[in-house]
Amino acid sequence: MNSRRPEEPGGFKGFEGFETRAIHAGQEPERSTGAVVPAVSLATTFAQDAVGVHRGFEYSRSGNPTRSALEACLASLEGAARGLAFASGLAAEDAVLHLMRPGDHLVIPTDAYGGTFRLVDRVWGPLGVSHTAADLTGGDPAGALASAWTPSTRMVWVETPSNPLLSIVDIAAVSEAAHERGALVVVDNTFATPYLQQPLSLGADMVVHSTTKYLGGHSDVVGGFVAVGDESLADRVAFYQNAAGAVPGPLDCYLVLRGIKTLAVRMDRHCANAAAVAAMLSRHPAVRRVFYPGLESHPGHATAARQMRGFGGMVSFVLAGGEGAALKVAGGTSLFTLAESLGAVESLIEHPHRMTHASAAGSPLEVDPGLVRLSVGLESAGDLLTDLRTALDRLG
């Protein structure tokens, strides 16, 4: 893993374990009182000792102590030179896309979050940034990348595991191929989290997160994050963070920071429950296909096993009965809540074609109407299996 990260005060330096850093990085006890939980700084402005001489903070859009603690912690977990927090995952993605200029070209995945596609296609497209969708999941990612390449390609966008088909991309292979052609590589690491996967150590230039999901982990905060492996590149993203001001409030930063403390133990349980759900779905006659990288039948299983610590908490599946059956199952569970979003302690179920990925209709990223996506939570595995099996059995 890339070991570059901000130096930590208060005796933290030297302790390298992921769980240790998740609890302590950027969060030394408060100096005057000894409080072990960093204070939530609600101040919008900070007194200066002289004109232009301050103590690290001047105005909360430019920097806030609570936000700095979150940025230091998550940068440490991603092995980044620097981390930058944003008001949402899409705000983080938009900041990264501001590295592009009119006339530049972007390679995106054929399977990706619908909001990402909408941002690239309907916001940045009219501004002169073009894109091509490429399937980078096969055995020849360099060849797939070459087929989508243009003389103006400046960036390659990767999701792995992807949303909603849980496709796996070989980050190291794509990064090598993109760098040989002079492009930056951005990896959306939301599904994996830094506990399961560190893309910067595999060659990526930047990592983006929706911290709303697993990092926050409790469906009570919206946020985004960019982890950058190079200081000069981080300066460019930081300029936009300050200039455009799509920053999270201190209470949002506190909630994400609190969620990160239990990330490792939560992800272990998410992975175990998802594996049990995927195995059951694979055996059910109403299910035509299951997408979960932990299954040996998954085409990306070997790559996922090589670059991930575990296979995550997301499972998708296609019903043999098509869209009608998918809608019945999505609306027919009791424990799985019908809702968008993912990555929290409670289990969620949704119909991507009509919900999270509706914006991709008619595009190369359009989703099978028979697909159902699960965010498998932390409930008792037996209860989750019973709930899904009951909904599936009702299909007859």
Averaged over 64-82, what is the pLDDT? 97
Q: Is 188 among the catalytic positions?
A: yes
* Cα 346 from Cα 166, distance rounded (Å): 20
* Cα 79 from Cα 287, distance rounded (Å): 39
> What integer pLDDT is reported at residue 228 of this predicted model?
98
pLDDT tens, residue by residue, 101-137: 999 999 999 999 999 999 999 999 999 999 999 999 9
Report the DSSP pairing between strands 348-350 and 371-375.
antiparallel
Confidence of residue 13 (pLDDT cuts 50, 70, 90): low
270 has pLDDT over 70: yes
pTM of the shown model: 0.94
Task: Please identify which of the residues 94, 121, 188, 252 carries the catalytic annotation.
Answer: 188
Averaged over 94-102, what is the pLDDT? 98
Task: Please identify which of the residues 67, 213, 266, 309 carries the catalytic annotation.
Answer: 213
Task: Please identify which of the residues 113, 214, 254, 292 carries the catalytic annotation.
Answer: 113
Averaged over 273-295, what is the pLDDT? 98
- The more confidently predicted of residues 176 and 364 is 176
What residue ranges define each of the domains in the chain, with the CATH number in brackets? 18-260 (3.40.640.10), 265-393 (3.90.1150.10)
177 has pLDDT over 90: yes
Listed residue (208, 174, 171) closest to 190, CA to CA: 208
| Amino acid identity for residue 233 in this structure | L
310 has pLDDT over 60: yes
Give the CA-trace dihedral at 110, 116, 119, 124, to 10 degrees.
Answer: -50
* Cα 264 from Cα 269, distance rounded (Å): 9
> What integer pLDDT is reported at residue 32 of this predicted model?
86
Residue 302: strand, helix, or coil: helix
Averaged over 382-393, what is the pLDDT? 98
Averaged over 354-369, what is the pLDDT? 90
Task: Please identify which of the residues 4, 61, 181, 354 carries the catalytic annotation.
Answer: 61
Q: Which of 46-55, 288-297, 380-389 has the lowest mean pLDDT?
A: 46-55
Averaged over 336-340, what is the pLDDT? 97
Averaged over 234-241, what is the pLDDT? 98
> What integer pLDDT is reported at residue 372 of this predicted model?
98
Q: Six-digit token pair at 180?
A: 């040989």
Q: Is 113 among the catalytic positions?
A: yes
